[in-house]
Amino acid sequence: SSKVFSAVNTLDSSEYAIKAIRKDKGYTKELAVKLIELEVQTMLSLGSHPNIVNIIDSNAYGVARLPKTGYEEVKYIVLEKCTHGSLSKYIKKTGPLEAELSKFMFSQLCNAVAFMHHQHYVHLDI
């Protein structure tokens, strides 16, 4: 239901991930706003954990400038960027993980999931 883009703050060159609601999913504007608000509220109430990406900002009424189509309304969340990319891209680039690295990464994932479960949250797409 969303797509993630890389972004750079032109004022200080800091990098972020932008999670935008996909227009091709056919959500009404009202539902898209509710989805953004719910995710932001969930992430903020969850609190901070070293293995969970932090929210930086959000905008349920944003406007994006697109090269081909001009300006377009967009709903998005600004997140800290995982500078090393996704685990799947890492594995595709480097090949299978060594056992010790695999154990380490899996333990980080389990710690984050346990943190969420302790607060009565469930991640739906791990």
Kindly list the domain boundaries of the chain, sorted by start residue: 1-83, 84-126
Q: Which amino acid, residue 81?
A: K
Task: Write down the H helix ranges in the chain.
Answer: 29-46, 87-94, 99-118
The pTM score is 0.81
Cα(76)–Cα(21) distance, integer angstroms: 6
Note the pLDDT of residue 115. 96
Q: Partners of 112 in the beta sheet?
A: none
Task: Kindly report, residue by residue over 83-123, the tens digit of the pLDDT.
Answer: 888 888 889 999 999 999 999 999 999 999 999 999 999 98
Residues 6+ apart with CB under 8 A from 30: none
Note the pLDDT of residue 74. 86
- Is residue 110 exposed (0-12), middle (13-18) or buried (19+ Cβ within 10 Å)? exposed
Note the pLDDT of residue 22. 74
Pick the CATH number of 1-83 from 3.50.50.60, 3.30.200.20, 2.40.50.140, 1.10.3720.10: 3.30.200.20
Task: Kindly report, residue by residue over 4-58, the tens digit of the pLDDT.
Answer: 889 999 999 999 999 988 776 778 888 888 988 999 999 999 989 999 999 999 9
Note the pLDDT of residue 24. 66
Rounded (10°) CA dihedral 78, 84, 86, 87: -150
